[in-house]
C-alpha cells in the first residue's frame, strides 16, 4: 500500500501569518480610534466648562422696564481671592464726568477709512442709572461689583441693549462694557442671558473702550467674566488723576467746592464759570446736568469765536513775519 505523505505536526491549526497581522492591526486601529474620540470628548468638555461663566448671585438696587442696576457676585465656591475696594463713595457729578466721556473706537483695516467714535452713554442713560450706581457703590461688599443694563427701543420688535459693570480696586476704577446698543428681539435667548449676567457679551462691545485724555488709562484688556466666545471690553482708569485734570482745566461738569456765604465750614457746589448752583438745582440732578450742558455749549461757542478772530487776524496781516519786520522802501 502507498503511504500518505506525512504532514508536519500542527500545520493545519496554525493561521496564516498575514491574516494574524491584519487582525492585530485592526485591533490596534480600533484602540487608537477609541482613545482619539475619548481625548476629543474630554477636550470639548474642558473647553465648554472653561467658557461657561460661574453662577451669579444678585442683589437688586433698582430695576425698571428699560434699565436696571444691581450688585452681582459669584457663588462662594467660585469666588476669587481678589477683594474690591468696596463700599466706595462716589457722587453723581464725578461719575457723570467720567462716564459721559467714554467712547468706543471702531476697528478698521489699514486701507479702510477711519470711522467716527461712538459715545457709550447718552445723557438720558446717565440721568436714569447714575443715582442707582452711586447707591450700589455705597452698598457693595468687597466681593460684589456693580452691574447695569440699559434697554432702548430699536424698532418694532428690536431692542438696543447696553450692559456692563463697574468696580473699584486699588484706587482704580474698572469699567466693563460687554454690549453696546446691540440689537436683540424681546424674546431673544441672548437678551435673557444678558439679564442673567450683564457681563455676558453677544458679539463684543463693538469697539475699543477709551477716554480723553488717554494718559489716565492705565490698561485695557478683554474681560471673559460673561463666559462667552466674545469678550467684554475692560478699561482701568486712574480716576483721581483724571478728575484732578478736569478740575484743573475747568472743562468739566464736575462740581468744585466753594464756601457758603456767611456760613463758615459749609460748602456749596459751584459751576465751572464760578457761579453757585441754586438749591432747586442741587435737589434735581437732571436740572443740574441740563444746566451744565448749556454752560459747556456756551464755552464751546466762545472758543469758536476766538478761533474765528485768530483766523481773521491772520488774513488781515500781510506777508510773513520777516516781511513785516523789513523796513519800508
Q: Could you tell me if 87 and 62 lie in one domain? A: yes
Phi, psi (degrees; rounded to nearest 5) at 168 = -115, 130
Total number of domains in the chain: 2
**pLDDT for 95-140, tens place per residue?**
999 999 999 998 766 666 677 889 999 999 999 999 999 999 999 9
Q: Could you tell me if 286 and 202 lie in one domain? A: no
Q: What is the pLDDT of residue 49?
A: 41
Instruction: Tell me, yes or no, whether 302 lies in a domain.
Output: no
Q: Could you tell me if 116 and 198 lie in one domain? A: yes
pLDDT band at residue 54, thresholds of 50, 70 and 90? confident
Q: Report the C-alpha gap between 133 and 70 in whole angstroms.
A: 8
- Residue 215 is classified by DSSP as G
Task: Please name every residue paired with 231 in a beta bridge, in sequence order, or none if there are none.
Answer: none
Q: Which residues of 60-94 are buried (b: 16+ CB within 10 A; e: fewer)?
A: ebeeeeebbbbbbbbeeeeeeeeebebebebebbb
Lowest mean pLDDT across 124-138, 200-214, 265-279? 265-279
Instruction: Tell me, yes or no, whether 121 lies in a domain.
Output: yes
Tell the burial category of 121 from Cβ atoms under 10 Å away from its Cβ (0-12, 13-18, 19+).
buried
Domain that holds residue 182: 56-245
Q: Could you tell me if 94 and 184 lie in one domain? A: yes
Instruction: Tell me, yes or no, whether 235 lies in a domain.
Output: yes
Q: What is the pLDDT of residue 115?
A: 73
- Of the chain, the percentage scoring pLDDT greater than 90 comes to 44
Mean confidence (pLDDT) of the chain:
75
Residue 308 has pLDDT above 80, yes or no: no
Q: What is the pLDDT of residue 98?
A: 97
- Looking at 216, 245, 274, the residue that finishes a domain is 245
Q: Could you tell me if 172 and 269 lie in one domain? A: no
Q: Which residues of 156-183 are buried (b: 16+ CB within 10 A; e: fewer)?
A: eeebbbbbbbbbbbeebbbbbbbbbbbe
Residue 237 has pLDDT above 90, yes or no: yes
Bigger pLDDT: 306 vs 281: 306
Grid cell, residue 304, equals: 469758536
Q: What is the pLDDT of residue 204?
A: 83
Instruction: Tell me, yes or no, whether 85 lies in a domain.
Output: yes
Tell the burial category of 19 from Cβ atoms under 10 Å away from its Cβ (0-12, 13-18, 19+).
exposed
Instruction: Tell me, yes or no, whether 266 lies in a domain.
Output: yes
Instruction: Tell me, yes or no, whether 301 lies in a domain.
Output: no
Q: Could you tell me if 282 and 233 lie in one domain? A: no
Grid cell, residue 213, equals: 485724555
Q: What is the pLDDT of residue 43?
A: 42
- Looking at 211, 245, 279, the residue that finishes a domain is 245
pLDDT band at residue 310, thresholds of 50, 70 and 90? confident
Residue 159 has pLDDT above 70, yes or no: yes
Q: Could you tell me if 266 and 140 lie in one domain? A: no
**Ranges assigned E (strand) in the chain:** 56-63, 67-74, 103-105, 118-119, 145-153, 158-169, 172-185, 208-210, 217-223, 232-237, 256-260, 263-270
- Mean pLDDT score, 301-323: 65
- Of the chain, the percentage scoring pLDDT greater than 70 comes to 60
Q: Could you tell me if 72 and 121 lie in one domain? A: yes
Q: Could you tell me if 145 and 237 lie in one domain? A: yes
- Looking at 177, 210, 245, the residue that finishes a domain is 245
SS3 assignment, position 136: helix
pLDDT band at residue 270, thresholds of 50, 70 and 90? very low
Residue 66: name the closest of 120, 12, 128 by CA.
Answer: 128
**pLDDT for 8-37, tens place per residue?**
554 455 555 555 445 555 555 544 555 545
Residue 235 has pLDDT above 90, yes or no: yes
Grid cell, residue 187, equals: 424674546
Q: What is the pLDDT of residue 286?
A: 62
Q: What is the pLDDT of residue 294?
A: 66
Task: Please name every residue paired with 182 in a beta bridge, in sequence order, or none if there are none.
Answer: 161
Number of H helices, E strands in the chain: 8, 12
Sequence-ordered alpha helix ranges (H) in 154-200: 189-196
Q: Could you tell me if 159 and 187 lie in one domain? A: yes
Instruction: Tell me, yes or no, whether 27 lies in a domain.
Output: no
Instruction: Tell me, yes or no, whether 133 lies in a domain.
Output: yes
Amino acid at each position: 500500500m502507498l503511504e500518505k505523505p506525512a504532514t508536519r505536526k500542527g500545520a493545519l491549526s496554525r493561521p496564516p501569518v498575514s491574516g494574524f497581522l491584519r487582525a492585530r492591526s485592526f485591533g490596534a486601529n480600533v484602540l487608537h480610534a477609541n482613545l482619539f474620540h475619548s481625548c476629543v470628548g474630554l477636550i470639548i468638555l474642558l473647553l465648554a466648562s472653561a467658557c461657561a461663566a460661574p453662577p451669579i448671585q444678585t442683589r437688586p438696587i433698582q430695576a425698571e422696564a428699560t434699565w436696571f442696576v444691581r450688585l452681582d457676585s459669584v457663588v462662594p465656591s467660585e469666588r476669587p481671592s481678589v477683594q474690591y475696594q468696596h463700599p466706595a463713595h462716589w457722587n453723581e457729578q464725578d461719575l457723570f464726568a467720567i462716564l459721559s466721556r467714554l467712547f468706543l473706537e471702531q476697528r478698521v483695516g489699514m486701507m479702510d477709512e477711519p470711522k467716527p467714535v461712538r459715545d457709550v452713554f447718552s445723557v438720558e442713560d446717565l440721568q436714569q442709572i447714575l443715582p442707582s450706581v452711586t447707591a450700589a457703590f455705597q452698598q457693595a461688599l468687597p466681593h460684589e461689583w456693580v452691574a447695569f443694563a440699559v434697554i432702548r427701543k430699536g424698532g418694532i420688535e428690536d431692542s438696543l441693549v447696553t450692559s456692563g459693570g463697574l468696580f473699584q480696586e486699588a484706587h482704580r476704577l474698572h469699567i466693563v462694557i460687554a454690549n453696546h446698543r446691540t440689537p436683540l428681539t424681546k424674546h431673544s435667548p441672548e437678551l435673557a442671558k444678558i439679564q442673567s449676567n450683564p457681563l455676558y457679551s453677544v458679539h463684543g462691545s463693538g469697539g475699543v473702550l477709551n477716554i480723553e485724555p488717554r494718559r489716565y488709562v492705565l490698561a485695557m484688556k478683554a474681560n471673559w467674566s460673561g463666559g462667552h466666545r466674545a469678550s467684554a471690553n475692560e478699561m482701568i482708569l486712574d480716576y483721581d488723576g483724571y478728575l484732578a485734570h478736569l478740575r484743573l482745566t475747568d472743562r468739566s461738569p464736575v462740581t468744585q467746592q466753594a464756601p457758603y456765604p456767611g456760613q463758615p465750614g459749609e460748602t456749596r457746589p459751584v459751576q465751572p464759570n464760578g457761579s453757585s448752583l441754586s438749591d432747586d438745582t442741587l435737589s434735581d440732578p437732571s436740572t443740574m446736568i441740563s444746566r451744565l450742558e448749556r454752560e459747556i455749549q456756551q464755552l464751546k461757542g466762545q472758543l469758536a469765536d476766538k478761533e474765528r478772530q485768530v483766523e481773521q487776524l491772520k488774513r488781515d496781516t500781510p506777508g510773513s513775519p520777516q516781511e513785516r519786520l523789513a523796513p519800508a522802501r
